[in-house]
Chains A and B, each alone.
Chain A
């Protein structure tokens, strides 16, 4: 059985022997996962398990080395510290850059996700039952539904950080989430709807935002779109819903503010203090957003997280830093160095990225549109460091003279985020932060969100 106290004493010991590096940090990480997947009413998976291990990262003459192990013992920690130093030495003479770290305070602290219902002793049977009920409900919506997949999952992470300069931080972060994917089919036409719930929270999130609500949205969307056409492709005035704005904030803008990408010449390089988008836009990356999927009190370098403003009323105002890039560029570290598991060293990642709400009612966003589309529901996407992006959207609704009309199938939208945000002429009052995953050499949990807003965009449609 897992005993945190064993781990803490191993880590406490580790630096007492002294280390032959300029700086070494050790992380312990244990991730317990519980997941239920019900596909077409059949339980496809009731699974649970854990991964756990230690890693050590050492800086030797300005060069990093890293090693990890799944073996939980004092000896294995000693051995990965040695291997991390040996690895750093293997790069000496090859690496041009000499890393220096921005000073930060050391902390001895503990953080646990605030929650009412700790999933530690969750009854898996209840989760299976809930998924099966959601499945039955989905099938009751329409006979056109031929495929549905309902999932619930809990990820319970323990992170312990200890550094040779005296930090010792314990964090337990709990994330509960669920999702529904529903496919409808008629006469050779197929359409899929997807909707999710989830937050950094205990099991109470499933009561506050029930999975069945998400299932209803997904199912009705699939049925509505099964015989829908593709919208007319081209450059259109659009109202983007909150999910798509979240994608835009994260994928297309947030990445360009990551200091490692700034270094590589991303769009935001050299733009601090420059007006880059509409003054209606304020965009932040917040490490402490309540219940955010990407929230944590300290990053994986032991730096306290903060709310970092990237765009302040249209003007570029900051980047996201690790200790290394903060030193190099002359800023303070922002608490954005994150690692996926103990098998990765921390790299610069976003936490919860969003555009702040504006002052328009949703109806007002539609009012002034002669012809355009309301785009609803994100479906993943990618962007370049130039700000050029491509996102999938689940559904497009025609807007004619300010009124919503015909529903169309999901399409892909693209453009340059800074151009798109430059053309924003109205921002909604509504706001949601959703859970998300981000991939950049290693995956990680993030939050993304924003209000609905109006702009212009290229829609990939029937051409």
Chain B
């Protein structure tokens, strides 16, 4: 059988031989081992083998794409043919310059773990057991609705007609657990917790089970509160669901070039509170999004996004960078071989504040501590509104009780420009490294 490198190079060669000016092949081999929990029990163990290839063909500034979950010679040829055909069908991208060229790649650490690569079904079941048992050790009122622990070993190779030929192997382990809690015939809302790591030694299934259980219990016996405008302390998960999408959209060079971003033309300007600093770092040791190269084979690097409230950089892939005669920031993300590259953060790291959640709570006269947000965020306008879950009412610096049927709304741009306090610790949720964040002047809306 051909090596992954050979297959990628061959696909590039075939596509160019058909008449393409440029070609790129992205080849993936993956093994996933999963334990799935359902209805408070272990449901199944899954072993999945997956291979695939995605080919981009460029013809007279026209780009076509095709993919297949097969690396046989005939499938590879079919994919090359389809991508070239699709390129010819696509109208010209007048700003197209070229695919990227080879460059030195950084060394990265903590992205491959032999123990994960060699994990047996039995060992994975044992990790799931540790997460599962932690639920009941934390609180007997909680039980597991569903959950999953997945171990992945993956090889990725990218070749293009400009001479890029790069590959790497990586491992990851991730898990989530969803709990509900019951007391006196009443059931809480779903509460979930997740965790992930590139190295087995850093993966703590107990923490996932315990946190999911405690969050579910925290939302028991909710009470209604009145509407007000005031302080809202977002825990880690709602920071990633409310604030991150808006910043991600606003610094995406594609959105900037299309003038859809409200931060278009604002490099060097103050865009939010001086308490906020954010860096995109694709090379941090052990980061979930850490790799030597991005989805186009461009070197991952460190890009300051916001420093003390001042906008420093947008994030680019090759297409948007070459449009401005710049270098890509190595932010071409790729969900899998079946998707084309698109701009996204690698590891996005917020600065950490000085105070813990408890300390921040103690400074709030009246407000809400939000564990989960379930709602809509318009990344372009920054407007968000939605229901809060696992959230508790704060009065005179103390957590009082869980709330029910409460929504929050506001505008992320306005809130981040107001009085913002970042807390600690910072937690890693996928590629996002975020602290809890205290915001002022958030609308808290209730039925009563």
The reply to whether A392 and B375 form a contact with Cβ atoms under 8 Å apart is yes
| A196, CB-defined interface residue at 8 Å | no
Residue of B nearest to A382 (CB): B374
Chain B positions within 8 Å of A261 at CB level: 145
B66 cross-chain contacts in A, Cβ below 8 A: 47-49
Say whether A390 faces chain B, with CB atoms less than 8 Å apart: yes
C-alpha gap A235/B446 in the complex (Å): 8
Is A49 a contact of B338 with CB atoms below 8 Å? Answer: yes
- Asked if A43 is at the interface of the complex by the 8 Å CB criterion, the answer is yes
Are A264 and B39 in contact (CB-based, < 8 A)? yes
List CB contacts (< 8 Å) of B346-396 with chain A. Answer: 374-376, 378, 380-381, 383, 385-387, 389
Cross-chain contact B49 with A390 (CB below 8 angstroms): no
B78 partner residues in chain A, CB cutoff 8 A: 1
Hey, which chain B residues are within 8 Å of A70, CB to CB? 49-52, 69-70
With a cutoff of 8 Å between Cβ atoms, the chain A residues found around residue B380 in the complex are: 183, 190, 192
Does A90 lie within 8 Å of B386, measured CB to CB? Answer: no
Partner of A47 from the list B122, B340, B444 (CB cut-off 8 Å) is B340
For window 418-463 of A, CB contacts with B under 8 Å fall at 441, 458, 460-463
Assess whether B121 is in contact with A234, with CB atoms less than 8 Å apart: no
Query: Which chain A residues border B444 with CB–CB below 8 Å?
Result: 463
Cβ of A24 under 8 Å from chain B: no
Q: Contact between B91 and A264 (Cβ–Cβ < 8 Å)? A: no
- Which of A239-247, A298-306, A355-363, A408-416 is found at the contact surface with chain B? A408-416
Contact B86 A42 (CB under 8 A): no
Q: Give A183 Cβ to nearest chain B Cβ, in Å.
A: 7
Q: Which of A87-101 contact B (CB under 8 A)?
A: 87-88, 90-91, 94-97
Contact bitstring A181-193, B, C-beta under 8 A = 1, else 0? 0010000111110
Closest Cβ–Cβ distance, residue B394 to chain A (whole Å)? 18
Interface segment, one of B16-24, B182-190, B200-208, B415-423: B182-190
Residue contact B91 to A87, C-beta cutoff 8 Å = no
- Given known pairs A1-B74, A95-B41, A461-B445, the reply for A67 and B47 (CB within 8 Å) is yes
- State how many angstroms separate the Cβ of A100 from the closest Cβ of chain B: 14
Interface centre among A45, A47, A95 (most CB of B within 10 A): A47
Q: Beyond A441-B36, A463-B445, is A412–B375 a contact (Cβ under 8 Å)?
A: yes
Contact of A233 among B374, B375, B409 (CB under 8 A): B409
Distance of A125 Cα from B404 Cα, bound (Å): 52
Total count of chain A residues near the partner, CB < 8 A: 84
Say yes or no for A162: interface residue by CB 8 A criterion: no
- Residue of B35, B143, B445 most packed against chain A (CB within 10 A): B445
Q: Beta-carbon contacts of B27-50 to A below 8 Å, as 1s and 0s?
A: 000000001101111111111111
Fill in one digit per residue for A90-121: 1 if any B CB lies within 8 Å of its CB, else 0.
Answer: 11001111000000000000000000000000
A50-58, A152-160, A200-208, A273-281: which lies at the interface = A50-58
The answer to whether A379 touches B54, judged by C-beta atoms less than 8 angstroms apart, is no
B187 close to A386 (CB less than 8 A): yes
Residues of B with C-beta under 8 A to A264: 39-40, 143, 145, 180, 187
Cα A191 to Cα B381 with chains together (Å): 8
A48 contacts B386, CB within 8 Å?
A: no
Tell me which residues from 241 to 284 in chain A have a Cβ below 8 Å from any Cβ of chain B: 260-261, 263-266
The answer to whether A401 has its CB under 8 Å from any CB of chain B is no
| Bound-complex Cα distance A64 to B340 (A) | 36
| Chain A residue contacts of B103, Cβ below 8 A | none
Is the CB of B345 closer than 8 A to any CB of chain A? no
At the interface, yes or no: A72 with Cβ under 8 Å from chain B? yes
B68 contact from A42, A51, A409, Cβ within 8 A:
A51
Give the distance in Å from the alpha carbon of A332 to the alpha carbon of B35 in the complex: 28
Q: In whole angstroms, how far apart are the Cα atoms of A234 and B120 in the complex?
A: 54
Q: Is the CB of B65 within 8 A of A45?
A: yes
Rounded to whole angstroms, the CA-CA distance of A410 and B87 in the bound complex is: 38
Contact B90 A265 (CB under 8 A): no
Q: A51–B407 contact, CB under 8 A?
A: no
Residues of B within 8 A of A410 (CB): 376
- Sample 11 A-B pairs with CB under 8 A, ordered by A number: A49-B66, A50-B68, A71-B49, A71-B51, A88-B45, A94-B42, A96-B42, A183-B380, A264-B39, A384-B389, A385-B187
Q: Given contacts A260-B39, A386-B189, could you give 16 more A-B pairs where the C-beta distance is less than 8 Å?
A: A49-B65, A50-B68, A66-B45, A67-B46, A68-B48, A86-B47, A94-B42, A97-B41, A128-B90, A192-B378, A264-B143, A412-B407, A415-B447, A458-B446, A458-B447, A463-B229
3 tightest A-B CB contacts, nearest first: A49-B67, A392-B376, A390-B387
